[in-house]
A and B are shown apart, each in its own frame.
Chain A
Amino acid sequence: MDLVGLTIQEVKRNFKKGEYNPEELLSEVKKQIDKQDDTLHAFVLKTYEKAEEALANKSGKLSGIPASIKDNYNWIGTATTASSNILRNYISPYNATVTQRLLDAGACFVGKTNMDAFAHGSSTETSDFFITLNPHNKDHVAGGSSGGAAAAVASGMSVYSIGSETAGSVRGPAAWCGLVGFAPTYGRFSRYGVVAMASSLDRPGVLTNSVEDSAILTEILSGHDRQDATSINESPMKLVEKLLQEKDLKGMRIGLPKQFFDDRIEPQVLKAVEEATRQLEKMGAKLIEVDFLDPKYTIAVYTVINRSEISSNLARIDGIRYGYRSNKKAETILDQIAYNRGEGFGNEAKQRCMTGAYTLSAGYYDAYYKKAQQVRTMIIEDFKKAFEKVDVVVGPTMPTTAPKVGVTKDNPIYGELADELTEPSALAGLPCISVSVGKDSKGLPIGMQVIGRQMDEFNVLKAAHIFEKSDK
């Protein structure tokens, strides 16, 4: 049974045709995991028992479809570590809203996937456990932070996988592993129960084998959540039926930002994406050049906001109620907290906490955090201006294809540089998707992203869907 590239709809059709039943499919997926995961390291936790229990739900939209979920989602009874040592012993007593909605729809999770610890990175190399390798070439990383999720889907160990994005943590690994990676408008999917990185940027996302699958999952995951004060107050979206009726891109205006197509982008990536844009034109879209703020400002803004919020969000992990507890003899209770955190957190988390504490300090707040928020407003305005002329913006997802393992070692902001094309839309909280547009000479996948207006998930999915279905 070839599991690679299977979509939710295909599996459902196969169930119906009697090609296999959910039990058989699950056992086939488990076999794949047992065979491949010792090398790929996509999973930090296998949850076969729970997957089998989930088969009891036969009527859900996702019943019987093997999937996986990133290790930063709370799921009752499982360790939710965000691939960190400090949370190794934290067992979730509650479900994230995303987890709950998927389980209610019959989701059958075979495991929790590896990530950069606390999602701090773009390669899974900051995971406190292990690095996830790229199924297309095992000398290369799968990307991050949702690297485990991408590797799981790309290798047939999951039909879809739930990731999360703060800058490009869904789109990036999807691009590097040849998948569809979709993150909706900020607030469309609830953040309740997702281990927070940077609250004003975090958003759940999905990694799938088709744009349609992303739309199916969006119908399940969207809809107001009263446990998240930033949740969009709308009912669940209706997308799939409408999407499947679309045949071309006539009348759609697509913006191509100059800054996304310059010499910072690897030539092979640039070429593949440019070809893809011509394909979009062929399908009826009108291509229009747009002008954005230089991405270098975006990196600065993103880094300040990200580090500031992290320093505060990680403060709750103090080893008092849960998490790693140091054995070192402490004189005071504050020393105890310092030892717990000092020994428990990895270097990346510590660096980010220290940078963030600095940028929020009295006397520096105005120069860093406040200034960053002001420039963030400019970036949002930048997009608004562009969206007066165009319906979606298109460009490469990542400036390169997946780098070799070891890339982040000497570059503390490697992730930020790699994410420079995904950070602007993350700062603006815009819906965006990455679709695969080909491979480079080494056989590594290349991704193209489509970014839409606030709340306009449909046009983003439409452009990606028509591209995916068109004859190239």
Chain B
Amino acid sequence: MKYQPIIGLEVHLQPKTKSKMFCGCSAKYFGKEPNTHTCPVCLGLPGALPVPNRAAIEKCIKLALALNCTILSESKFDRKNYFYPDLPKGYQISQYDQPISESGWLEADVNGDAKRFRITRVHIEEDTGKSIHKDDKTLLDFNKSGVPLIEIVTEPDFISKEEVDAFAKRLRQIVRYCEISDADMEKGQMRFELNISLSESGQLPEYKVEVKNIGSISVLQKVIDFEIKRQAKALDAGEKLEQETRGLKGMSGETLAQRIKEGSADYRYFPEPDIPPMRFEKKLVEKIQKEIPELPQEKKWRYVNDQKIEIDSAETIVASKDLFTFFEQGVQELKDEKLAQNFANWLIGDLRRLTKKHEVDLLDSKVTPKHLVELVQLLKEGKLRTAIAKEVLTKVFETGKSPSEVMQESDLGVMEDDGELEEIVQKVIDSNPKSVDDYKNKNENAIKFLLGQVMKETRGQADPIIVKQLLEKLLTS
């Protein structure tokens, strides 16, 4: 392509806290009746004052540390002044020149290669209320007003939508690993703001287009596609692109020029006088640092390097806490380390399909990591055939009994008694005289058919090689 996209992101995350950022109202506003989660503070009544939520600040520090940021020794809140009906105080309490943290990075894999994306800052602020435009009226719901938001700002380090995708997914995993937020996009707990421009020289262009309020990673991808096409077309036509904020048109990724230009906005930032500056003691930061678990990128490469599993399997497993918890518990039980990939395959494949189909959480399912380990080992030892293993797993899933118990009860093991098998083979020969004739007439397919019949009779428990030998023996005798 002639142009190189240059992309930066701002991500807004709603940390999981009991109460709002500056008052005692419940932060669980989603789906609640409008204006039932409000108080003088989040309604901006005269005289009401904000008191910062410690839990939200500590979650912000935790995420900042997980993103390798430096925690500033002194941080403060600032007021961002502008008028809008859903902004009850006429200003948003945010952070301006002394955010909680600065200069970090996040590593994600793009097409198999690890890349570091620089994080400019991670800070905390409050959300606004919600405007609902209905006919010619605007309705206001302040349940969301004052809910805490963590803002992550990146450097313009992305050059493709694949990079953005890898970053966004890795970030969401980190947030969930650290229990900072559920990052449930359907509930608006994670939202994106895109800054995108096209460069011919690889240098940062003079303009940038901002697209706000993108609520899903898939829409984010579509917006990038749309903007690259739109901007390239304009540049090809010799147009000069300007700094602007564009809005979303539905979920298609299409963007629209906004009526009001925000480029010239002066937010008249100044330090929030109602809240004293904050100092974070080293001890607190160290304590929070210790609470950060192994993060997905490290985990993934540990699986690849130590457990010798495939990169794609590792990526799939680290994407979900349930999967990696199950995997790690299972791996501990494995007698043969080489079976990790087999274990992973059964976990990602059949077991995940079963839990999804029955809408059961993996860790709540009756199949324990030990069960799956046993299954994989039985297969390896040749005591169980792949075709039957699926049935065994289903039974384990239904009953919670171990694979060997299930096999015993349902007689699903590998048939070892030649006498019994020979009887079945003879029965099949007796009841298929036509195929016997065909066999004798050198029809290759006849023996395959007969073999299939035997396997059907034995429900797959028989060893096909032995069956074939038996068939040949009995047919020629």
Contacts and interface: CB of A to CB of B under 8 A. Distances in A.
Q: Is A bound to B?
A: yes
Interface of A: 72-74, 80, 82, 87, 90, 92-94, 96, 191-196, 198-200, 226-230, 308-309, 311-312, 314-318, 320-322, 333-334, 337, 357, 360-362, 365, 369
- State the main secondary structure of chain A at its contact with B: loop
Contacts of A73: 47
Nearest to B133: A333
Contact of B47 (A96, A315, A318, A362): A96
Given A312-B91, A334-B83, A80 B51 contact: no
B49 to A, nearest CB: 5
A333 B84 CA distance: 8
A93 B270 contact: no
Shortest Cβ-Cβ A-B pairs, 7 listed? A315-B90, A199-B273, A360-B268, A200-B273, A316-B44, A193-B47, A195-B46
A365 B49 contact: no
B300 interface: no
Contact of B266 (A90, A312, A362): A362
A228 B51 contact: yes
A80 B46 contact: yes
Interface of B: 39-40, 43-52, 79, 81, 83-85, 88-91, 138, 140, 266, 268-270, 273-276
A320 B273 CA distance: 24
A404 B269 CA distance: 40
20 contacts: A72-B47, A80-B47, A94-B40, A94-B45, A192-B47, A195-B47, A199-B273, A312-B79, A315-B81, A316-B88, A321-B43, A322-B45, A333-B85, A333-B138, A334-B84, A337-B83, A337-B85, A361-B268, A365-B268, A365-B269
B274 A199 contact: yes
Contact of A191 (B49, B89, B270): B49
Contacts of B43: 321
A164 to B, nearest CB: 11
Given A82-B46, A334-B83, A362-B266, 19 more contacts: A74-B40, A192-B49, A193-B47, A196-B46, A196-B47, A200-B273, A228-B51, A229-B52, A311-B81, A311-B268, A315-B81, A315-B90, A316-B89, A318-B90, A321-B88, A321-B140, A333-B85, A360-B270, A365-B268
B468 to A, nearest CB: 82
A452 B302 CA distance: 64
Contacts of B45: 74, 92-94, 316, 321-322
Nearest to B44: A316
B90 A316 contact: yes
Nearest to A80: B46
B19 to A, nearest CB: 13
Nearest to B142: A321
Contacts, number: 108
A93 B46 contact: no
Given A312-B79, A315-B83, A321-B43, A228 B49 contact: yes
A93 B89 contact: no
A309 B46 contact: no
Contact of A312 (B46, B52, B81, B85): B81
A369 B47 CA distance: 23
A226 B83 CA distance: 29
Given A199-B274, A318-B83, A194 B51 contact: no
Contacts of A94: 39-40, 45, 48
A60 B445 CA distance: 104
Contacts of A322: 45
Contacts of B274: 199, 229-230
B100 to A, nearest CB: 16
Contact of A308 (B51, B83, B270): B270
